[in-house]
Amino acid sequence: MAIKTGRIYHPDYHKHQTGNHPENARRLEVIVEILQQTGIWSRLVEIPPFLAEIEQLARAHSLPYIQIVESLCRQGGGYLDPDTVVSPASFEVARLAAGGVLAAAEAVWEGEVQNALALIRPPGHHACPDRGMGFCIFNNVAVAIRHLQSKHRLKKIFIVDWDVHHGNGLQEIFYSDPRVFYFSFHQYPHYPGTGRASEIGSGEGTGYTCNFPLLAGTGTTQYLNLAKNELLPRIEKFLPEIIFISAGFDAHVADPLGGMRLSVAGYESLTDMIMEVAEKVCGGKIVSVLEGGYHLKFLPYCILGHLRSLAGLKVEIPEQIYHYGD
């Protein structure tokens, strides 16, 4: 059954110029090309992004850090850290990325769509309150969650982070907040070095951070078993009002920056499982946000499989791509 699913995208996301870098504009180009070719693009509800206000960013980041990013971009660009490059347009593009997730969150919470996929860049889950890192400038998901907490007084929000890298920025921002449950399964040891099972939150937030570090080579079957036995019970117990997915697709078997063995089929099955529990606990309210994923052939099909589940639409994926790695 078709579901009203929103899509967030803007051509200005390509203006964040990173040069010969894994996180580059071509990632979004190939995603849009495949989604348009298969016809699913036109069947989604367009949700225009907007520039996040400084006060909205400041709910997740320090003002001095925001000013550092703005100043560096005005000076022509440079590096926030060895992995994180900014160009002259990057400050505005990063505000537009955060604003894209804000727009998605508003549309889902207000019932304009049941769920939404934010096809944005730069990604965000490594961005910490006072520093950017790991290709991330502002923490897009965190900015949106702080907005929902502030404007709509949400008391229970669940984050599923399935990026191959641990979302240290998301964890840090919400580590002592019992209103936000952060769940991550990720390759370990791997960048950024955080995400041990012993990291469970602090203060009132103790028990609301849950990390499952996985060895390189973990495949689809193990991911799905972990989701069934560990993730879904926690969502059902927490009873969130909305679910965010930090949707990195770099755990795919072919991804150059990871060492895991997830398939396109695996990502679709993971989405199916989260969709089912979301329907039970929060009326299906899901905001999915693009994080990593760097193989230009497989990334768009990972997104397509994810969207087939989110939108409940039948779109063909070649079998040799769908099950590659299974």
Sequence-distant (6+) residues with CB within 8 A of 33 are 300
Just list the catalytic residues.
Answer: 126
Closest CA to 241 of 158, 144, 149: 158
Distance in angstroms (rounded) separating the CA atoms of residues 237 and 171: 20
Euclidean distance between CA atoms 78 and 76, whole angstroms: 7
